[in-house]
Structure formats: structure tokens, C-alpha cells
Structure 1
């Protein structure tokens, strides 16, 4: 029931939460989060998102695997876009590029330390 007005709740359009994780090429889960609106005060109530669901659309593991496929396995973005469209969830090559830019921003933070280790010769003793 609404907190203050005692009005009835009616269902409105749910929030659709898409969560993409990496499994082979991609594992896509779509969650419909129910929302209700009070007829008197128009307050909106939303269901809680399960704790195991990652809030970001693209899981960090997906971004990492996308980078490996692009730069280690030489899979072009347009080929991955085509494959994803075959399984019903296309990921445009422009989106893939944006994800790589986000990932590069994180990687650039540790790159100087890795470069220094490589220059000095890494010794695990």
C-alpha cells in the first residue's frame, strides 16, 4: 500500500534490466523489474533488484573477454556484432569500441607499473 494516501496500486511499464556477462562469446540475461503506481498520489513503487544481478549492463568479465577476442584472437568487432545478431542480441561494433575505451582507461592506470617491471626484468624469487 502507498505510504501516505491509501490509494490503490496499478501496474505500469516494468524496468527492463539487461545484464551481459562473458561465457564463450556472451551470456545475456534480461530482467523485468515490476513497477506499480498509486492512483491517488502517483507515487511509483519498484521491486528490489536481486543481489546477484550486476547493476551495470556490461559485466567487467564481458569487457575483458571482448578485449581478448579483439586483440589476442583477432576477431573484428563487426564479426562479433554479426554473431551476436544471429543469437538474438546484437552488440553494435560502435558499442564494442566504447567498451574497449572504458577498459583502456582502467588498463592505462597500471600500464606504467607493468612497463617498469618489464624494463627491470621481472624476477619471481
Structure 2
């Protein structure tokens, strides 16, 4: 997607790219090395793209959702004990909803983040600190 849109953004000297990574980029889990590696690559791609495209007025940021109640998230939380554990260890004592990711993405896509680039924001109810 980046490859497809960047030439047009360069022409306009303006653009916002928001990549979706994962908290797994920060801290993986057993049996998820391939997933953690791919999401870490998204964070690295975000940082380098920010360096490469910043001079064209293009910002590049990433959102790293934690445990979000989606089909994939529920697949990782098959038993009630795991749900209770993750609700306990988040500062907000709840799992995320898809709507919880919307605001951070909208911020990075807006002009309110015009001076923010190369960042990866954890959206995880405080489960991980970096």
C-alpha cells in the first residue's frame, strides 16, 4: 500500500501513513514468533519510512494494539481464565474493543499529528510500558 500511495503523496508534498502493528512487536508470546517478527518489521518499516518520506511532508506512524476483542483476539482467549488474567493485568481492567483503536488511528491520520512521525503507539490499556 505504501509503495502505491507514496508517489502521489510526494507529488502533493503531503501525506499521512498509519501502519497497524501489534503489541506483539514489543513483546511476543510463546508460539507466536512468526507473528511477533512480522509486527516488529512493521514498526521498523514505519521508522525507516518516516526518515525516507519526511522531507516530502509525509508522516509515517504505527499503532500497536494490545488484546482487542476481534475474531483473532478471541482465538487467543479461548478460556475464561485467560480473559480474566488479561483483564486483571491491564491498567484499565478490560480488554480492548475495535473502537478503542479508532481514535489513535484518526489522530495519526489527521493534521493534529503534523509534527509526529516515526512513532509506534501502544494502544493496550497499559499492559506494556516502553
TM, length-normalised to structure 2: 0.26
Q: Taking CA–CA contacts closer than 8 Å with sequence separation of 6 or more, which of the two structures ends up with the larger relative contact order?
A: 2
Decide which structure has greater helix share.
2
TM, length-normalised to structure 1: 0.26
Structure with greater Cα Rg: 1
Decide which structure has greater strand share.
1
